Structure 1
Amino acid sequence: MSKSPTLVWFRRDLRLGDNAALTAAVERGGPVIPVFIRDALVDQLGAAPKWRLGLGVEHLAKTLEAKGSRLILRSGPAREVLEELVRETGAGAVYWSRAYDPDSVDRDRRVKEAIKDLDVDAASHTGHIMFEPWTVETKQGAFYKVYTPFWKSVKDRDVPAPLPAPHELMAPSSWPESEKITDWGLAAAMRRGADVVYPYLHVGEEKAMNRMSVFVRDKIDDYAQARDRVAVDGTSGLSENLAVGEISPAQCWHAGRRAMEAGKAGAETFLKELVWREFAYHLMWHTPRLLTDNWREDWDAFPWNEDERLSEVKAWKQGRTGIRFVDAGMREMYVTGRMHNRVRMIVASYLTKHLMCHWKIGQKWFDDCLIDWDPASNAMGWQWSAGSGPDATPYFRVFNPVTQREKFDPDRSYIDRWIAEDRRNPSATALSYFDAIPESWPLSPDDAYPDPIVDVKEGRQRALEAYQNRDF
């Protein structure tokens, strides 16, 4: 008798190479039916990450078609959709790659129980991170709360070599019906911003792998220094592709290790950045409150503003604070969908310290605006900058956006790239900001650039006084 089909449920693993769930389905034998489900967790994504995920799904569908396969699209609760597909196809197994945020963990647990109740094999596989959170422990059997010991614990671990993409995928005798992704409206919330951001994207597995190859060949040697030079293209750019799984962290790790063995000076720094991402997932798994509440619970008493309607918050969101380094970063995000990591720290520090606003306001805004949005990394970054998180920058260490600009953008190239007001011949990238922002923001490049909404020194002093007088 021929083997029953295997359903492979794609989520944030939009690739064929180094996909353990897909490899297991092929090795099981029989037809493989790839599936993507638009469930509540997809629907609740912010505008930019939802749109970017949809583009990745479309690209995966085309890749599968080139191999004589298909991507079946369904919408609804994942458990119900998969149960129905099992009945329609006679599938004997359902495989997927693991997720680690609490909502996905809860969903996947219920899915696994339901599928097994149908007497069908249900199995999750690794792939979105390298080191499963429950396998990394201190000598006392606890989870790590500080990055450096975590790095030392995993840096010499064996990371299995990436799995090759399957040569072929056996098709079923008949395909189940599929919805059309164009009917899902995943780009709707992006509105006119989609046309502005799209040219900056690198969608799909092939472009992700090429991006990594170029980085390792041309940039990684100088990465330790270049990654902080905000006007220089000195980073890998792979956060976009890692976020939706168009490349795996193991593929990046092995490329970095080969570069380190070849004597490339910046390779170890790149590996440390990959492990920083792992650390964020490690903490999210063990302390899910990282996503929603102050990781350091004593910070619940800190007098942050939580009112998003404040004029200062609006100015921050619009990139109109009067602090050019901060505003340039926000505008880069609206035009490209991403923001240089050094500038993210400055932008976050300014909101949480100079403006004394809760990190949740910034986290929520980035949730909506970043095409490289990642639940663990975004939460970790905001809490680190605010001082409330694990391994956090101390609250009294307040980044001065003026001196930071002098250090990391000394010739003002980054600022000139993104700020148009008060310039005789503003750059095309700076003008693109006005095409990307919501039409409800009545802004024009002919507007005068604003005065600072908070003096840098006064804002810093106010933050320090609040910290020194804290009631915790």
Structure 2
Amino acid sequence: MSDNAPIILWFRRDLRMADHPALHAAVSSRRPVIPVFLRDDLVDRLGAAPKFRLGLGLERFAAELQDAGSRLVLRAGAALPVLRALAAETGAAAVWWTRAYDADSVARDKEVKAALREDGMEARSFGGHLMFEPWTVETGQGSFYKVYTPFWRAVSGRDVDAPHPAPGRVPAPDAWPESESLSDWELGRAMRRGAEVVARFARVGEAAARDRLAQFMDGIVAGYDDSRDLPAEDGTSALSENLSLGEIGPHQCWHAAIRAREEGKPGAETFMKELVWREFAYHLLHHTPRLATSNWREEWDAFPWNEDEDDPRVTAWRRGRTGIPFVDAGQREMYVTGRMHNRARMVVASYLTKHLLTHWKIGMRWFEEHLIDWDPASNAMGWQWSAGSGPDATPYFRVFNPLTQAKRFDPDGAYLRRWIAEGQDDPPADALAYFDAVPRSWALSPDDDYPDPVVDASEGRKIALEAYENKDF
């Protein structure tokens, strides 16, 4: 093996230059680095919005690599044969990548690592997507954590590695392999006319993510304890979009929060707890992969969930036409921006799983299709938490009343007015944008009458509790 043989650096959900252990190690080796992104079946299976957002992120990241004297090579196909072919073309002796933690990615990566090593190549995975690798956090009994609060206590005092700076230059090979065209991949095709609407709200790339973090720490974080629950306010970091594709690293966010806490900004530790909630979701996904596919609490397997995808009430929920304003506003926000405020997510999920007694997997798949900040661990964890079937979940008997939630967290109705056009004489642009984004086949118009509730808020809670009384929890 030549000491100067190129390293193939396989990028996935880590589209950044700074706080990137694998990239830092590759550049530090002084060997030529060939950045590669593979469109394999896991990419092809992404929902419409995550795949569209991935395309935007890849375009921006390719430009960042070019500024560093490098380029991003695009190839489509199964990971192992594509990587083998690239190694043969380039003389590369190593393939490095940042770890993923969902079951399908883990299975793929294990196969790739074993096969490449059998070929005599160096196959190496790095951390970077998380601050705390899931297998490094254990209870006193040597098991994994199933409840968030003790998990937070276990990691909150740990040293977190300082983020590596972005390299000024990335060593290039003598000759570049051929690359496929990003435009030919048409990653945004499934979005159809919604792509133009959602694109206006996306903040794409590492520079945008750093700006978001700086703006948050400069101002919003001081009131974050309260503002994070107010959907009408710009009261969150909004970094979920960038964290989902690794356009910013968790180490950067953590150290920024520590500095803010040292400066006496009261919301900084709450933000740190939100970062650790993300870590907890991955901790659970690693130790119990069923989190993403089945009830984490097995006693829920016998619960009589509604699993009818074509139920008219479920259709109304999807289309933001339940007649419950807070629920509908959340769905419409997602259709227009690709994101949904976290308080709205909880209310929207509770209404589906408790008022409509519909299986959380139906909701999880809907979010997977429509969120540009989709994350496999956080999405699964959030839905099971809301449904009551997951670890550290909201108690099954806690049923969010969407009307009282709106009065508490949107008291003057600003959030509802921003997203629901029906009934307003002069609807705002964002409310009207919903009708530009949704499929024409839905035949929706801002001039439509706003619907009556498909299930009344108080009646839905009663129905849910009656169903739970017949279930042994």
Output the TM-score relative to the length of structure 1.
Answer: 0.99
Which stretch shows the higher mean deviation, 462-471 or 243-252?
Answer: 462-471
Give yes or no for the alignment of 1:102 onto 2:103. Answer: yes
Query: Would the aligned equivalents of 1:302 and 1:471 in 2 still touch at CA under 8 Å?
Result: no
1:415 is matched with which residue?
416
Secondary structure of 1:269's counterpart equals: helix
1:160 is matched with which residue?
161
Deviation, 1:363, is 0.1
1:366 is matched with which residue?
367
Equivalent-residue separation in structure 1 for 2:72 and 2:95 (angstroms) = 15
Superposition pairs for residues 139-288 of structure 1, below 5 Å?
139-288=140-289
Superposition pairs for residues 348-387 of structure 1, below 5 Å?
348-387=349-388
Q: Could you report, residue by residue, the CA deviation over 1:341-400 in whole angstroms, capped at 9, with x for unpaired residues?
A: 001000000000001100001000000000000000000000000000000001110000
Where do 4+ consecutive residues of structure 1 move more than 6 Å?
none
Equivalent-residue separation in structure 1 for 2:395 and 2:31 (angstroms) = 56
Equivalent-residue separation in structure 2 for 1:199 and 1:151 (angstroms) = 36
Give yes or no for the alignment of 1:297 onto 2:309. Answer: no
Equivalent-residue separation in structure 1 for 2:320 and 2:100 (angstroms) = 34
Q: Could you report, residue by residue, the CA deviation over 1:20-66 in whole angstroms, capped at 9, with x for unpaired residues?
A: 11111112222111000000000000000011011111111111111
Give yes or no for the alignment of 1:74 onto 2:75. Answer: yes
1:18 is matched with which residue?
19
Equivalent-residue separation in structure 1 for 2:424 and 2:214 (angstroms) = 38
Secondary structure of 1:4's counterpart equals: coil
1:39 is matched with which residue?
40
Equivalent-residue separation in structure 1 for 2:275 and 2:85 (angstroms) = 38
Superposition pairs for residues 100-139 of structure 1, below 5 Å?
100-139=101-140
- The size of the alignment, in residue pairs, is 472
1:342 is matched with which residue?
343
Query: Would the aligned equivalents of 1:83 and 1:114 in 2 still touch at CA under 8 Å?
Result: no
Query: Would the aligned equivalents of 1:23 and 1:166 in 2 still touch at CA under 8 Å?
Result: yes
Secondary structure of 2:441's counterpart equals: coil
Secondary structure of 2:433's counterpart equals: helix
Deviation, 1:100, is 0.3
Residue identity in the other structure for 1:159: V
Equivalent-residue separation in structure 1 for 2:217 and 2:262 (angstroms) = 12
Secondary structure of 1:33's counterpart equals: strand
1:51 is matched with which residue?
52
Equivalent-residue separation in structure 2 for 1:340 and 1:174 (angstroms) = 46
Secondary structure of 1:440's counterpart equals: helix
Query: Would the aligned equivalents of 1:354 and 1:460 in 2 still touch at CA under 8 Å?
Result: yes
Task: Output the aligned Cα RMSD.
Answer: 0.8
Q: Could you report, residue by residue, the CA deviation over 1:380-435 in whole angstroms, capped at 9, with x for unpaired residues?
A: 00000000000000111000000000000000000000000111111111000000
Equivalent-residue separation in structure 2 for 1:179 and 1:453 (angstroms) = 48
Equivalent-residue separation in structure 1 for 2:116 and 2:21 (angstroms) = 19
Identity of aligned residues (%): 66
Equivalent-residue separation in structure 1 for 2:111 and 2:55 (angstroms) = 25
Q: Could you report, residue by residue, the CA deviation over 1:126-171 in whole angstroms, capped at 9, with x for unpaired residues?
A: 0111100100000000000000000000000010000011121111
Equivalent-residue separation in structure 1 for 2:429 and 2:220 (angstroms) = 26
Secondary structure of 2:49's counterpart equals: helix
Secondary structure of 2:440's counterpart equals: coil
Deviation, 1:185, is 1.3
Deviation, 1:230, is 1.1
Deviation, 1:199, is 1.0
Residue identity in the other structure for 1:211: R
Give yes or no for the alignment of 1:470 onto 2:464. Answer: no
Residue identity in the other structure for 2:465: L
Equivalent-residue separation in structure 1 for 2:140 and 2:222 (angstroms) = 35
Secondary structure of 1:141's counterpart equals: coil
Deviation, 1:471, is 4.8
Equivalent-residue separation in structure 2 for 1:172 and 1:138 (angstroms) = 46
2:316 is matched with which residue?
315
Give yes or no for the alignment of 1:429 onto 2:430. Answer: yes
Equivalent-residue separation in structure 2 for 1:32 and 1:318 (angstroms) = 46
Deviation, 1:2, is 6.1
Query: Would the aligned equivalents of 1:301 and 1:471 in 2 still touch at CA under 8 Å?
Result: no
Residue identity in the other structure for 1:17: A
Secondary structure of 2:9's counterpart equals: strand
